[in-house]
Structure 1
Amino acid sequence: MRIILLGPPGTGKGTQGKFIIKKYNIPHISTGDILRENISSGSIIGEKIKNTMIQGKLVDNNIICDLITKRIQKKDCDNGFLLDGFPRNIEQAQYLSRKKINIDYILELLIPYKLILERISGRRIHLNSGRIYHIKFNPPKEKNIDDFTGEKLCIREDDKIEIVKKRLKEYIQLSQPLTQYYQEKKIQDNLKYFQLNGANTLSEVKKNIDFILKNSYF
């Protein structure tokens, strides 16, 4: 089962992805995770990625496509995978087709712009563990303090409100032709493409995804 999760930052793709991979036992391939791993490595490519993200820009297509390809080629992807945050533009989608990486499902989460800003700008992270909190939806027991270590939480550079607005503006510009591309493939190639309301509760979105995957997979 090969699935793509589409949607702008803050729609809950990461959370829903965790539900899917646990139920279907497939790896969760998050573009964001892969980029952050490279940044943490301190490599030349990692520094280039870091500088791009700090400016609120999307990472170069060639870099993203190369990193995703290497990940998909690993053995744990033999029975399927879930792509989160890729493709983000039509060039990346066409890249998958050229590489004959067939996709079974496209699940797109849609959510109002205002709610995205609220979700992302309120995120707080514990750097060493990767634990994520939210000042409104999932606050720590003590303000800005990790529940387990007592260490201070921080705001990721790309979660700052100015950067988020830039990311969303660029995402919207790129997502429109990408959505049209998959709408056409839905008609031409019988691709299973579904749009879901990401503003619903996590449990409601999960229930809708479960229904789709259970009733349309063959």
Structure 2
Amino acid sequence: MGLLLGSLPVFGLLPDVAVACGKGTIAKWIQRDFGPLQLVSTGAILQRLAQREDSLGEEMRRFLASGGTHSPRIISVELMEDERITDILFNALSDPAESGWIIDGFPRTLRQAQLLDAHEIQPHLVCLLDVPRPVLQSRIMDRWVHVPSGRIYSRSFNPPRHSGLDDLTGEPLDCFDKRYNNYAMHRDALQRHYERKGILFVAAGLDSATIYAQLHTRLLSKTRQPQ
């Protein structure tokens, strides 16, 4: 999936999307053209909460430690239960000072989408960024990722000492096929969920500029509608 936009003047969601689809770039362009919008990243939220000196901060620090996170800038929310991560996201979106927001990379599963509904988090638009698999694969070639820490390896330029394993932890590395297949496993159910709500927009193309041109037009039409 892609972006999820919500709240006035525009609200949106970039649900979990295929790796290397360009949603980070597109999210920044939306902020530039339709701001002020809060860009909500679940990983960034957990990192921020871990700085708190209270029970919630302690919980987040334990979670990060259990994930073997050496660099907290990339956090695998897949390790946290759907209910807990959705509650945390809901609280992050409760700030009345924010005039709108973009959720980046969430929901990842139909269950998470249903929990958003239960919290009455209703986006005005959900954008699916549709980039052909061969294009995505060509962008990252032979890249491997150690998800908890964010360390990146390349078979050609920076291979791990032991094939498929992280140098520091020895944990298995994530590769394109695994990440794409995990995304594809949940994509259809998420797409049907938001299609039924009438808020799904599919933007297709081979590059971010082409995709954003379509999304920009759609967002303009949404912001001109009475809210």
Instruction: Give the structure-2-normalised TM-score.
Output: 0.65
C-alpha distance in 1 between matches for 2:132 and 2:123: 27
Could you tell me how far 1:161 is from its partner in structure 2?
A: 7.2
Pair 1:28 & 2:33 matched: no
Match among 168, 190, 213 for residue 178 of structure 1 = 190
Alpha-carbon distance change, 201 to 164 in structure 1, aligned in 2, over 3 angstroms: closer
Q: Which residue of 1 aligns with 2:105?
A: 85
Q: Which residue of 1 aligns with 2:135?
A: 115
C-alpha distance in 2 between matches for 1:118 and 1:37: 34
Pair 1:194 & 2:206 matched: no
Pair 1:100 & 2:120 matched: yes
Q: Which residue of 1 aligns with 2:12?
A: 3
C-alpha distance in 1 between matches for 2:114 and 2:182: 19
Instruction: Decide whether the 8 Å contact of 1:38 with 1:45 is kept in 2.
Output: no
Q: Which ranges in structure 1 are unaligned for 5 or more consecutive residues?
A: 125-129, 136-142, 145-156
Could you tell me how far 1:75 is from its partner in structure 2?
A: 3.8
Pair 1:207 & 2:213 matched: yes
C-alpha distance in 2 between matches for 1:171 and 1:39: 27
Instruction: Decide whether the 8 Å contact of 1:57 with 1:167 is kept in 2.
Output: no
Alpha-carbon distance change, 164 to 211 in structure 1, aligned in 2, over 3 angstroms: same
Alpha-carbon distance change, 106 to 9 in structure 1, aligned in 2, over 3 angstroms: same
Instruction: Decide whether the 8 Å contact of 1:2 with 1:104 is kept in 2.
Output: yes
Q: More helix per residue: 1 or 2?
A: 1
Q: Which ranges in structure 2 are unaligned for 5 or more consecutive residues?
A: 1-9, 52-56, 145-149, 159-168
C-alpha distance in 2 between matches for 1:64 and 1:116: 28
Two-structure CA RMSD over aligned residues (Å): 3.6
Could you tell me how far 1:74 is from its partner in structure 2?
A: 2.7
Alpha-carbon distance change, 176 to 39 in structure 1, aligned in 2, over 3 angstroms: farther
Which secondary structure state, in structure 2, belongs to the residue aligned with residue 28 of structure 1? Answer: strand
Q: Which residue of 2 aligns with 1:71?
A: 92
Alpha-carbon distance change, 38 to 19 in structure 1, aligned in 2, over 3 angstroms: same
C-alpha distance in 2 between matches for 1:166 and 1:74: 36
Could you tell me how far 1:35 is from its partner in structure 2?
A: 5.2
Counterpart of 2:134, as a letter, is K
C-alpha distance in 1 between matches for 2:173 and 2:131: 17
Instruction: Decide whether the 8 Å contact of 1:2 with 1:81 is kept in 2.
Output: yes
Counterpart of 1:118, as a letter, is S
Alpha-carbon distance change, 70 to 123 in structure 1, aligned in 2, over 3 angstroms: farther
C-alpha distance in 2 between matches for 1:98 and 1:162: 32
Could you tell me how far 1:50 is from its partner in structure 2?
A: 4.6
Could you tell me how far 1:123 is from its partner in structure 2?
A: 7.4
Instruction: Decide whether the 8 Å contact of 2:12 with 2:101 is kept in 1.
Output: yes
Q: Which residue of 2 aligns with 1:148?
A: none
Could you tell me how far 1:213 is from its partner in structure 2?
A: 0.7
Q: Which moved more, 1:173-182 or 1:27-36?
A: 27-36
C-alpha distance in 1 between matches for 2:219 and 2:179: 30
Q: Among the aligned pairs, what percent are the same residue?
A: 23
Which secondary structure state, in structure 2, belongs to the residue aligned with residue 4 of structure 1? Answer: strand
